[in-house]
Amino acid sequence: MRGGRTMSAQDHTIFVAKALHSILSESLAVQSVLGAPPRLYDNAPEDPVYPYLSYGAMRSEDIGGDIRPLYAHNLSLHIWSHYGGRAEIINAIAAVSGALEGIIYTSGSAQIRSVRVVYSDHFRGPNGRTLHGLIRLNIITEPTE
């Protein structure tokens, strides 16, 4: 409950966004590839320092039953690099995936019950220079009460 009411799917979505940012910001592995503090953006600046991560779209839905409320969140994380080869983007994908996969995270009245990397990929952008890494996540949350 939050403020005397049950958390909604939107509340869980906000919780996931804040939790991801907190987990990634505190990860030494992520800091080693994305800087300290890591470059994590909802909306990247006009002339960003590479490499960096941007948060993609998130789809959340209630998957709970009558007895237990559960929410599924499917989202994408995008990693951008200007490094000449693929090593930097591969290392960044590994660091971000490693920081998140399997983690249990509780804060306030919600808990991340599971995080699973559905897939990751990397490819060269249309300009021929930028490398784009993609991580697709499935996250399950539940209320702590």
Q: What is the pLDDT of residues 79-128, one digit of tens each?
A: 999 998 899 999 999 999 999 988 989 988 899 999 999 999 999 988 88
* CA atoms within 13 Å, Cβ hemisphere of 109: 14
**Residue 1 domain flag:** no
Q: How many domains does the chain have?
A: 1
Q: Report the run of H or E that residue 87 belongs to, with start and end.
A: helix 87-100
**Residue 135 domain flag:** yes
Would you say how long the chain is, in residues? Answer: 145
Q: What is the pLDDT of residues 31-88, one digit of tens each?
A: 999 999 999 999 999 999 999 999 999 999 999 887 888 999 999 999 999 998 899 9
**Residue 42 domain flag:** yes
Burial of 70 (0-12, 13-18, 19+ CB in 10 A): middle
**Residue 125 domain flag:** yes
Which residues are CB-neighbours of 58 under 8 A, at least 6 positions away? Answer: 13, 16, 17, 73, 74, 75
CA 27/CA 29 separation, integer angstroms: 5
Domain containing residue 127: 9-143
Domain with residue 48: its CATH number is 3.30.2000.30
